């Protein structure tokens, strides 16, 4: 098979939100970069991922001059919280009182693909397989990969791993360099994509039977999340049981069965790998950290990472100043731990308030008191939201 060799300032591994956003920032700044994505574009465009852009992310994209091209219009984000079927609508604002702008992760990926490839003529290579990372201290870095046209080598100054928790980037770092700090919550979520839109606000529900949520995934689909045991699998959750539990936990017997497209099981855990860099390789997004999905922070943490990293890479490439790059991990980690604390607080509150068999009646009562405080004492809720920069 044919082979090729070329050069680029930056190679980005992974074509999700973090990789595409970073490439767009670099392209705007005149820094040459290549994105390698193992899947084809058609698959990336329809791949379902959770998350919406919070107010902090909106301000970041406004600073880059991209908000109007990548995001939808302003929205006051509200959530329908239910406790044993009793519904309370909660309006979530940023710390400065501003609303977010509505954009799901799937919408943002598609907008980034269009902006980066179709408008900016950025270099995104789909179907890249057998990716290899060469990140030696005493030689220039390089990335190898194969595709239908053969084997390719890209010599580069910097490599950025945006390829998620199970990607090759973090795995390429020698053993003992990174420290993994993690927490297991002791339960999982069953995630079911169904042919049923969200009617009204997104729902977060707790009951004595456990946690459940319904979040939008396009105009006609939504994803239900239900707390389940770590040992559960598809055989434990036939469709009839799924819908019976949804009606029970939502406190709504009128919910009708609908087509279930897929089911997945997600162990709830929090993970931080530090440092987020080794030699000329930098980790961003899920490659560096995982947060439990309850707080809706994963995509926003990834956007924060690549915002910091883009500015540091531009300075290193254009001015020859590596100081910001060398401080990348130290800059990001305090923010990451703040979001971990918020996500853990939200996860514990929503799950402890539900099924008492997990942590007992005392923790259930304490968690429900926290929810009452959120609903009945707006000043306390605003204080917590301000500290955590808003959950939007």
Same domain, 114 and 257: no
Q: Is 368 within the bounds of a domain?
A: yes
Q: pLDDT of 221-265, one tens digit each?
A: 899 999 999 999 999 999 999 999 999 999 999 999 999 999 999
Supply angle C-alpha 212, 200, 203, rounded to 5. Answer: 15
In the block, tokens 């300075």 appear at 315
Question: Within 10 Å of residue 191's Cβ, how many Cβ atoms?
Answer: 20
> Number of folded domains in the chain?
2
Same domain, 279 and 370: no
Q: Is 382 within the bounds of a domain?
A: yes
pLDDT at 387: 41
DSSP conformational letter for 115: I
pLDDT (average), residues 184-191? 95
Q: Is 333 within the bounds of a domain?
A: yes
Torsion angles phi and psi, residue 28, rounded to 5: -60, -30
Please state, in angstroms and rounded to a whole number, the distance separating the CA atoms of residues 180 and 271.
7
CATH code at position 174:
3.50.50.60
The pLDDT of residue 139 is above 90: no
Give the pTM.
0.90
Please state, in angstroms and rounded to a whole number, the distance separating the CA atoms of residues 71 and 100.
10
Q: Is 340 within the bounds of a domain?
A: yes
Q: How confident is residue 102, by pLDDT bands cut at 50, 70 and 90?
A: low
Q: Is 225 within the bounds of a domain?
A: yes
Same domain, 295 and 255: no
The pLDDT of residue 93 is above 60: no
Q: For the ranges 132-136, 280-284, 354-358, which has the lowest average pLDDT? A: 354-358
Same domain, 110 and 67: yes
- Give me the domain span that covers residue 42: 3-75+99-181+270-345
Same domain, 157 and 302: yes
Please state, in angstroms and rounded to a whole number, the distance separating the CA atoms of residues 1 and 20.
29
Same domain, 187 and 251: yes
Same domain, 110 and 38: yes
CATH code at position 374:
3.30.9.10
Please state, in angstroms and rounded to a whole number, the distance separating the CA atoms of residues 164 and 389.
24
Q: pLDDT of 199-228, one tens digit each?
A: 888 899 999 999 999 988 777 889 999 999
Scanning the chain, the segments in alpha helix (DSSP H) are 17-28, 41-46, 55-63, 67-70, 105-113, 168-171, 239-250, 298-319, 323-326, 328-352, 360-376, 378-387
Question: What does DSSP say about strands 203-207 and 210-216: parallel, antiparallel, or unpaired?
Answer: antiparallel
Encoding tokens for residue 306? 């690549």
Same domain, 223 and 341: no
Same domain, 328 and 305: yes
Same domain, 128 and 155: yes
Q: Residue 193: CB partners within 8 Å, gap ≥ 6?
A: 48, 217, 221, 222, 223, 260, 261, 262
């Amino acid at each position: 098979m044919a082979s090729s060799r070329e050069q680029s300032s930056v190679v980005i591994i992974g074509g999700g939100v973090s990789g595409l956003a970073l490439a767009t920032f670099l392209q705007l700044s005149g820094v040459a970069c290549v994105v390698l994505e193992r899947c084809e574009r058609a698959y990336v465009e329809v791949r379902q991922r959770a998350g919406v852009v919070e107010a902090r992310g909106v301000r970041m994209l406004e600073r880059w001059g991209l908000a109007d091209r990548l995001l939808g219009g302003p929205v006051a984000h509200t959530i329908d919280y239910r406790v044993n079927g009793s519904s309370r609508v909660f309006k979530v604002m940023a710390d400065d009182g501003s609303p977010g702008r509505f954009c799901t992760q799937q919408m943002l990926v598609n907008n980034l693909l269009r902006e980066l490839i179709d408008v900016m003529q950025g270099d995104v290579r789909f179907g890249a397989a057998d990716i290899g990372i060469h990140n030696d201290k005493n030689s220039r870095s390089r990335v190898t990969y194969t595709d239908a046209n053969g084997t390719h080598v890209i010599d580069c100054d910097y490599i950025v791993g945006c390829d998620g928790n199970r990607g090759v980037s973090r795995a390429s770092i020698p053993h003992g360099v990174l420290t993994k700090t993690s927490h297991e919550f002791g339960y999982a979520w069953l995630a079911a994509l169904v042919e049923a839109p969200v009617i009204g606000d997104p729902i977060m529900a707790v009951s004595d039977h456990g946690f459940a949520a319904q979040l939008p995934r396009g105009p006609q689909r939504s994803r239900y999340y239900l707390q389940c045991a770590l040992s559960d699998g598809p055989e434990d959750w036939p469709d009839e049981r799924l819908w019976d539990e949804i009606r029970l936990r939502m406190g709504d017997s009128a919910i009708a069965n609908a087509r279930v497209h897929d089911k997945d099981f997600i162990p709830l855990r929090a993970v931080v790998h530090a440092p987020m860099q080794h030699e000329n390789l930098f980790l961003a997004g899920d490659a560096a950290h995982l947060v439990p999905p309850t707080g809706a922070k994963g995509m926003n943490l990834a956007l924060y990472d690549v915002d910091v990293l883009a500015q540091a890479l531009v300075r290193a490439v254009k001015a020859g100043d590596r100081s910001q790059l060398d401080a990348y991990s130290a800059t990001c980690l305090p923010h990451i731990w703040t979001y971990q604390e918020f996500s853990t607080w939200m996860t514990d509150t929503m799950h402890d308030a539900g099924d008492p068999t997990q942590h007992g009646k005392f923790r259930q009562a304490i968690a429900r008191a926290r929810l009452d405080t959120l609903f009945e004492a707006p000043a306390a809720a605003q204080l917590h939201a301000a500290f955590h920069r808003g959950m939007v």
